[in-house]
Structure 1
Amino acid sequence: MDRRPFIGVSTYLVDASWSDWRGRRVALLPERYTAYVQRSGGIAVLLPPDSPERAPEVLARLDALVIAGGPDIDPAYYGESAHPLTDVASPERDLWEVALLRGALAAGMPVLGICRGMQVLNVVCGGTLVQHLPDVVDVDVHGGSPGCYGAHVVRPVPGTLVGGLLPESELEVPTFHHQAVGRLGAGLRVSALAPDGTVEAVEGPGFTVGVQWHPEQGDDLRVMRALVQAATAAALDAVVLG
């Protein structure tokens, strides 16, 4: 296979302003996500919210799926009422990303969830979330400040896929989140932790990985390069079997 793999990346659907245009509804994604894919050898394909019924058609044209960061998933998806600080302003995105993830997992497609994306992955697998992490940790190092990413240490778990990609005993990562994994979803295992015990990465069968931090905000391409390699291998296998 001599083509770069197509990596689908989910997007926001929000009101935004630019140039002379104000309050226009846009499908939006920070540029660092697309650069992260491109620098790692893939072709980034933006996936704005669409009808959930179209997810299989979209996935059939992709080699891997990335669920990007963003606002909180509606806690109704895991059977809870919303915390006062839970942001549930993206119902179209919730529906779309849940459909994409269910289809990708069923097909064995390589998947990477980033921040919100890891949380949606855990929920799709039957898990729950801690809706406001500062309620349960002594010192909150996870949230950054408004409009700015923070940084904290994570500890990859040896013997896991993430632990193999990031073999350091600990590393500092860009971070911005106020929610976290509660009950772990079926078929997932923890593959990195913060020193305070917060789950910072999960993984499942094949290349199914979620990271709670924002690797696209830094220069470490190892996780995305691994996704691109897995997507390339899967596409090659499909050609051979076809």
Structure 2
Amino acid sequence: MTASSPRRPLIGVTAGRMVMPGGAWAGHPAVAVTEHYVRALREAGARVVILAPQDPWSDTEVAELDGLVLTGGNDLDPTGWGAEALPTDLPADPERDAFEADLYRAARRVGIPVLGICRGLQIIATAEGGDLVRHLPADVPAHPDSSQRPTEVEVDVDAASDLALALGTRPTVTAYHHQAAGRIPDGLRPVAHHASGVVMALESAEGSPVLAVQWHPELDRRAEALFARFVDSTIRGSRPWGERTTTDQVTAASKRRAPLAPLV
């Protein structure tokens, strides 16, 4: 990038925490996020700043970002959204949950676009007052078991959604989860479902733009258009997500969409 190049959108990407498993720094605490998120956003034209759990950011600090990506990871602490722990829960990081929920609420207040991925969708749903389906496929037997490894599933996408403009109305996606959105709060609307009835994507019903997906587009070259659309939405003055999409727009976008590329 030269001095005369245009400014690229600055996207905050959340990260988890782990203990280094080996090498010279074995046993030391570390910040962890897979490189897939960074690659997908950089290829879509963005710059990335990694956000690990820390003291809360002010609205002024969050407004310095052009967009926010809430990434995947382990389960949320159920006590944080009013539920009790279950034996099927994976280990949680309550500090990360609180930091990311605060980031999300600040992003909504200042109006920057938010993309939630898998765990990120669950942060969004619970921060807005919703709850979760706790253990799939046990709670919804018709849902495929995608808890052990990344699994391809088909989803039905609402034609009148921004997600449909990016991926069409029946994409195959890469899922890797055992929980999902349950009760959907008023501030969000479901825009994609699996045939089992499980909600697979949410968009904001009003206010600042939000898209959340219950799968991992960063693992899938077929989802490049989703990241491109998100990054485009972060450019100040562009058409924001949340402005209702028409079926005609989806049809036109489908005609322009390139053939699907293979999985990475």
Q: Which runs of 4+ in 1 moved over 6 A?
A: none
Aligned AA (1:215): P
Q: In the alignment, which of 124, 127, 131 is matched to residue 128 of structure 1?
A: 131
- 1:39 aligns to what? 43
Cα displacement (A) at 1:138: 1.9
Any gaps of 5 or more consecutive residues in structure 2?
241-264
Q: Give the whole-Å Cα distance in 1 for the aligned partners of 2:53 and 2:113.
A: 20
**C-alpha contact (below 8 Å) 2:11/2:66 kept by paired residues:** yes
Would the alpha carbon gap of residues 35 and 82 (structure 1) be closer, same or farther in structure 2, given more than 3 Å must change?
same
Q: Give the whole-Å Cα distance in 2 for the aligned partners of 1:179 and 1:95.
A: 19
Stretch of structure 1 that moved more, 203-212 or 97-106: 203-212
TM-score, reference length from structure 2: 0.83
- 1:162 aligns to what? 163
Cα displacement (A) at 1:18: 3.9
Q: In the alignment, which of 4, 20, 26 is matched to residue 24 of structure 2?
A: 20
**C-alpha contact (below 8 Å) 1:157/1:163 kept by paired residues:** yes
Aligned AA (1:203): E
- 2:216 aligns to what? 214
Would the alpha carbon gap of residues 226 and 72 (structure 1) be closer, same or farther in structure 2, given more than 3 Å must change?
same
Q: Give the whole-Å Cα distance in 2 for the aligned partners of 1:9 and 1:149.
A: 21
- SS for the counterpart of 1:46 is strand
In the alignment, is residue 75 of structure 1 matched against residue 78 of structure 2? yes
Q: Give the whole-Å Cα distance in 1 for the aligned partners of 2:63 and 2:114.
A: 14
**C-alpha contact (below 8 Å) 1:65/1:109 kept by paired residues:** yes
TM-score, reference length from structure 1: 0.90
Aligned AA (2:157): P
Q: Give the whole-Å Cα distance in 2 for the aligned partners of 1:39 and 1:65.
A: 16
Would the alpha carbon gap of residues 19 and 166 (structure 1) be closer, same or farther in structure 2, given more than 3 Å must change?
same
Aligned AA (2:185): G
Would the alpha carbon gap of residues 68 and 234 (structure 1) be closer, same or farther in structure 2, given more than 3 Å must change?
farther
Q: Give the whole-Å Cα distance in 2 for the aligned partners of 1:235 and 1:80.
A: 39
In terms of fraction of residues, the more strand-rich structure is: 1
How many residues matched? 233
**C-alpha contact (below 8 Å) 2:59/2:110 kept by paired residues:** no
Cα displacement (A) at 1:24: 1.4
Identity, % of aligned pairs? 34
Q: Give the whole-Å Cα distance in 1 for the aligned partners of 2:93 and 2:20.
A: 14
- SS for the counterpart of 2:26 is strand
- SS for the counterpart of 1:69 is coil
User: What is the CA RMSD across the aligned residues, in angstroms?
Assistant: 2.0
In the alignment, is residue 62 of structure 1 matched against residue 65 of structure 2? yes
Cα displacement (A) at 1:234: 4.8
- 2:7 aligns to what? 3
Aligned AA (1:190): P
- SS for the counterpart of 2:50 is strand
